[in-house]
Structure 1
Amino acid sequence: MINQQVIFFNSIKSALPDYQNLAQSIAEVLEISTNEAYKKIRGTSVLNLQQIVKLSDSFGIPFLYKPDQLPTVTFDYLSVDQEIPNMLLYLKDLLKNLKQIQQSKSKHITITTDDIPLFHFFKYPELTCFKLFFWSDSVMNTEVKFDPSLFDEEVISITKELNQIYLEIPCTEIWAKDTVHGTIEQIRYAYEAGYISKILAEQIIEQVRYCLTDMNMYAISSKKTIDPNHAFNWYNCDVLGSISYLVDYKDTMSCYNRFNTFNYLKTDDQSYCQQTKQWMQSLIGKSVSFSGQGEKHRNKFLYNAFAECDKLLMEMNNNLV
């Protein structure tokens, strides 16, 4: 129980902004002295069930317990229907999680992905709207045409904020060989099926190119902004098993796994996170670095990605799709 209690407080600490004192925050919520709060944090004083519930509700952090003999992992997920009106709820939840990460003093995100991480294309409104539209299965099964005006200004505002926050969080991204291919095929399918006009398709392809140009700039300098604290490491691995986001704080970790196209499962189970971290480190050992001096391999990858964009544009111009 004591070990889980210490892990619980580490998770709460990671969720607090730098300016907020953990012991004082615990004391206020539990209505106890600061001295007693320190005892709870160190594990020399045991939390009761009511205190655990009160802390979990106040900080939005679950208390995870599992018997040692049971290899179970608890995941949380946001249940969102894949309807355009409900995308706002999904984005607001994503923003809440990303702000929590940003506010932590020590943080680093490692991503394994076979699709362009959504935070990158959030910089570009039409590309953003197209991806959200494509993810809306119920829309793609009707005769609704793609139109960026389907999404209100709040959606665009939140996605731009998500992009800016992500740029300020140090991260490592491990892309699969065909990471860009999926987005190109989505555009091709939507155009061929008549969901999107040629003009919009061309605009979105151009924004994919801009997105890749951004990636090249981040990789060259190994950072996403002029601030050296916003470090960026980019790798390419031929085979990836899943789309995963591992958030590594100083004292704890969280893992997000994508499912059902755009939803995610989140866990703070430290054993699971540690195994995920080891798996990601193993992948990096088998990957090619695109950052810093990895110019040759990076240029080859980007050349092929740009060639895919050009090929689709040529096909549309020749009416071959």
Structure 2
Amino acid sequence: MENQQAIFFQTIKAALPEYQNMALSIAEELGISTNEAYKKIRGDSNLTLQQIIKLSDSFNVPFVYSPKQSLSVTFNYLSVNEDLNMVNYLKDLLDNLQTIKNSKQKHITITTDDIPVFHFFKYPELTSFKLFFWANSVNNFEVPFNSTFLSDEIIEISKTLHATYLEIPSTEIWSKDTITGTLEQIRYAFEAGHLNDTELAVKIVEQVKYCLTDMNMYAIGSKKTIDPNHTFNWYNCDVLGSIAYLVDFKDRMACYNRFNTFNYLRTEDQSYCLQTRKWMQGLIMKSVSFSGQGEKHRNKYLYSAFSECDKLLQEIGQAQG
């Protein structure tokens, strides 16, 4: 219990803003003295089950317990119902991202064969299409897509998600086909008649190109904003195997594995996260760097990606003619 309690408090500490005193916050939430709060933080006094639940709810951090010799891993996930409430989905995503951003030390490593969604969120039409495609992956395209698919609220949340991600140091490992998934979704929707507005289809493809241009700028400076703390490292690896997000804090890690097209499983099981980190580090060793001085390889990759975009634009233009 002592070890799990120490890890629990480390998790809480990592989630708090720098200006917030943990002992005072614990004392306030549990209705105890600051002295007693310090005893619990040091492990001199055990938390009760009710106190664990209260702290977990208050600071939005899990208390993870795994029996000795257990090989099981506990995951949490956002349950999206049949009507796919995108507002709740994006709000949950934003809560997770803002918790990461507000942590004292943080870094996200992403392995992906699809462009990370946070880059899409800068562009309303591309965001609308991507979420439309996800939603209809289970509803089998009941209605055609148009630019009014998403509400103003969702667009605003998406823009906040994009801005928040830019402020978190990150490493992205893309496969050689990372651009292909989104382009194939656009091609399928257009050819099947789910995206029947030609001008809108062209605009969506153009916004994919804008995303790639953004990536190029981030890679050139090895940062996502003018703030040097918002570092960015970009790699290309031919074979990845899965889409995973690893959040590395000073004292703990959290792992997110994507499933069912758009959803994710989340765990803070440190053994699992450590294995994931070692796997990602191995991928980086086998990857080509696109950041900083990796101009030659980056330009070759982007040239191929832009060519794929232009090919799709040509197909759309020929269909219109």
Q: TM-score range by the shorter chain?
A: over 0.9
* Deviation (angstroms), 1:35: 2.1
Deviation track 1:92-137 (CA, whole Å, cap 9, x = no partner) reads 1011111111111111101000000000010000000000000012
Confirm or deny that 1:242 pairs with 2:242.
Answer: yes
In the TM superposition, 1:40-189 aligns within 5 A as 40-81=40-81, 83=83, 86-137=85-136, 141-189=140-188
* Deviation (angstroms), 1:204: 0.4
Gaps of 5+ in 2: none
Please give the alpha-carbon distance, in whole angstroms, between the structure 2 residues aligned to 1:315 and 1:274: 45
- Partner secondary structure for residue 180 of structure 1: helix
In the other structure, the counterpart of 1:278 is 278
Q: Does structure 1 retain, via aligned residues, the 8 Å contact 2:136–2:142?
A: no
In the other structure, the counterpart of 1:266 is 266
- Partner secondary structure for residue 251 of structure 2: coil
Q: Does structure 1 retain, via aligned residues, the 8 Å contact 2:198–2:320?
A: no
Letter paired with 1:264: Y
In the other structure, the counterpart of 1:18 is 18
* Deviation (angstroms), 1:41: 1.3
Q: Give the direction of change, closer, same or farther, for the CA distance of 1:249–1:37 in structure 2 (3 Å limit).
A: same
Q: Does structure 1 retain, via aligned residues, the 8 Å contact 2:75–2:267?
A: yes
Q: Does structure 2 retain, via aligned residues, the 8 Å contact 1:83–1:138?
A: no
Q: Report which stretch shifted further, 99-108 or 139-148.
A: 139-148
Q: Give the direction of change, closer, same or farther, for the CA distance of 1:8–1:103 in structure 2 (3 Å limit).
A: same
* Paired-residue identity, %: 71
Letter paired with 2:133: F
- Partner secondary structure for residue 88 of structure 2: helix
- Partner secondary structure for residue 178 of structure 2: coil
Question: Aligned-residue CA RMSD in angstroms?
Answer: 1.5
* Deviation (angstroms), 1:169: 0.6
Q: TM-score w.r.t. structure 2 length?
A: 0.96
Please give the alpha-carbon distance, in whole angstroms, between the structure 2 residues aligned to 1:316 and 1:140: 25
Please give the alpha-carbon distance, in whole angstroms, between the structure 1 residues aligned to 2:91 and 2:9: 25
In the other structure, the counterpart of 1:211 is 211
Q: Does structure 2 retain, via aligned residues, the 8 Å contact 1:83–1:137?
A: no
Please give the alpha-carbon distance, in whole angstroms, between the structure 1 residues aligned to 2:68 and 2:288: 38
Please give the alpha-carbon distance, in whole angstroms, between the structure 2 residues aligned to 1:315 and 1:15: 48
Letter paired with 1:126: E
Q: Give the direction of change, closer, same or farther, for the CA distance of 1:80–1:274 in structure 2 (3 Å limit).
A: same
Please give the alpha-carbon distance, in whole angstroms, between the structure 2 residues aligned to 1:167 and 1:54: 32
- Partner secondary structure for residue 319 of structure 2: coil
Please give the alpha-carbon distance, in whole angstroms, between the structure 2 residues aligned to 1:81 and 1:212: 33
Letter paired with 1:247: V
* Deviation (angstroms), 1:263: 0.6
In the other structure, the counterpart of 1:36 is 36
Q: TM-score w.r.t. structure 1 length?
A: 0.96
* Deviation (angstroms), 1:139: 7.3
Q: Report which stretch shifted further, 244-253 or 212-221.
A: 244-253
Please give the alpha-carbon distance, in whole angstroms, between the structure 2 residues aligned to 1:82 and 1:229: 40
Letter paired with 1:157: E
* Deviation (angstroms), 1:142: 3.9
Please give the alpha-carbon distance, in whole angstroms, between the structure 1 residues aligned to 2:221 and 2:245: 23
Q: Does structure 1 retain, via aligned residues, the 8 Å contact 2:113–2:177?
A: yes
In the other structure, the counterpart of 1:190 is 189
* Deviation (angstroms), 1:147: 1.0
- Partner secondary structure for residue 310 of structure 1: helix
Deviation track 1:212-246 (CA, whole Å, cap 9, x = no partner) reads 00000000000000000000000000001111111
